[in-house]
Homo-oligomer: A and B are copies of this chain.
Amino acid sequence: MVIVQTEDFNAAELTAALRKRHAGQAGALVTFTGYVRDYTEGQGTHTLFLEHYPGMCEREITDICQQAIERWQVPEPTVVHRVGELHNGEQIVYVGVASAHRGDAFRACEFIIDALKTRAPFWKRETLASGERFWVQQRESDAEKTAQWAHDTPNNAKESS
A113 at the interface (CB under 8 A from B): yes
One of A26-34, A49-57, A65-73 at the interface: A26-34
Instruction: Check B24–A102 contact: CB distance below 8 A.
Output: no
Instruction: Check A100–B11 contact: CB distance below 8 A.
Output: no
Residues of B within 8 A of A109 (CB): 30, 106
Name the contact of A32 in the complex, choosing from B11, B28, B35, B145 (C-beta under 8 A). B28
How many angstroms between the C-alpha atoms of A88 and B31 in the bound complex?
21
Chain A contact residue count (CB 8 A cutoff): 39
A121 at the interface (CB under 8 A from B): no
How many angstroms between the C-alpha atoms of A161 and B148 in the bound complex?
13
- Give residues 94-130 of A contacting B (CB, 8 Å): 100, 102-103, 105-106, 109-110, 113
Residues of B within 8 A of A160 (CB): 141, 144-145
How many angstroms between the C-alpha atoms of A70 and B145 in the bound complex?
23
A47 at the interface (CB under 8 A from B): no
Name the contact of A106 in the complex, choosing from B12, B25, B110 (C-beta under 8 A). B110
* Given A29-B32, A32-B102, A102-B110, 14 other A-B residues pairs in contact with their CB atoms under 8 A: A12-B15, A19-B35, A24-B88, A25-B37, A26-B35, A27-B35, A28-B32, A29-B31, A29-B33, A29-B34, A30-B30, A31-B31, A34-B102, A145-B158
User: Which 7 A/B pairs are nearest by Cβ-Cβ distance?
Assistant: A12-B12, A27-B37, A29-B33, A106-B110, A31-B31, A27-B35, A156-B156
